[in-house]
Amino acid sequence: MRQTHLKRIGLIGLLALVGIGLWQGRSLDPQQLMQWIDGLGPLAWLAFIVLYAVATVAFLPGSLLTLAGGALFGPVLGTFVNLTGATLGAVLAFLAARYLGADWVRARAGARLGAILDGVEAEGWRFVAFVRLTPLFPFNLLNYALGLTRISLLPYLLATWICMLPGAIAYTWLGYVGREAAAGGEDLIRKGLLAMGLLVAVAFLPRLVKRWKEGQGPHWSIDDLHRRREEGETMTLLDVRDAKDFNGKLGHIPGSLNIPLPELAARLEELRADGHALAVVCNTDKRSAKAVQQLQRAGLDNAILVIGGVQAWKGRGWPLEQR
């Protein structure tokens, strides 16, 4: 009861903060902000990180802050403070959503929303990396939305920090060049062209991510595998872990065929004669990804990577076998 009361108080406080942020964000003056931060002296960079984190939680426009960070601290320190502040804010929003709303949303999610959440969770850090590299997704809202899933905090943090780096560099540099132009700095043409190049590179990231996703080849989520098995679809579930892992404490998915990855080349004809879809798993999906590539190079186009592997199956609470 007390925990529910605390959650309500926290939610009211968060909504008030977001409301203030949305209201004040319209009248935010970057010049006044920069003057105030600049007047803090040696602690300016630390204050800016805290400000950026709070602004992220409160839905203040992050692009203006990133440009201001570049103008205030230059391309190197500016990238650091911008990226650190944005990541810290993203983690705070993620944790707030998880603590205040994840259970409530899960309990009331319909079949469609539940399937979406399950699909996002199956992709895990890959989904976080994709949306961070693709600037089409609203950053502030996305932080809260991801908190409603069961994606682990550490993969979320690392994927956020790493995959926001290209955009942080580009916009920080743009803010730096803007201040140099206002001050009449030298070599502005070269710096301006570099800024444009960085922005173009960020704009092309979604296409590169799409090609990377396509390069993974056909794949199923663990939920796809479970659903297809429940529907009675004919397939061969191939587990490419070694025998020790296959029969070990974690166990294996019932009905799996165990062919360790080092033995795969010697048993290609056996799999070729099978003719069914080859759903390939391992503990997660590292060895299985290598196995799928090997099978496809050998002409077995029916090989399908199962994202998340046996660990994801276990995470859903579905049965496993040990021998």
Residue 196's pLDDT is 54
Residue 221's pLDDT is 85
Task: Decide if domain 219-315 falls under CATH 3.40.250.10.
Answer: yes
Residue 112's pLDDT is 60
Residue 281's pLDDT is 95
Domain ranges of the chain: 2-211, 219-315
Q: What is the mean pLDDT of residues 171-191?
A: 62
How far is residue 30 CA from its own chain's centroid?
29
Residue 80's pLDDT is 95
SS3 231: coil
pLDDT tens-digit readout, 129-172: 877 877 667 788 889 888 888 888 999 999 999 988 888 888 88
The model's pTM: 0.60
Residue 214's pLDDT is 46
Q: What is the mean pLDDT of residues 287-313?
A: 89
Q: What DSSP character marks residue 148?
A: T
3-state helix, strand, coil in the chain (%, to 5): 70, 5, 25
Q: Lowest-pLDDT range, 40-44, 129-133, 196-200?
A: 196-200
**In the predicted model, is pLDDT for residue 6 greater than 70?**
yes
Cβ–Cβ < 8 Å for 100, 130: no
Q: Lowest-pLDDT range, 97-111, 162-176, 232-246?
A: 97-111
Give the chain's end-to-end CA distance (angstroms, integer). Answer: 45
Q: What DSSP character marks residue 241?
A: S
- The amino acid at residue 298 is A
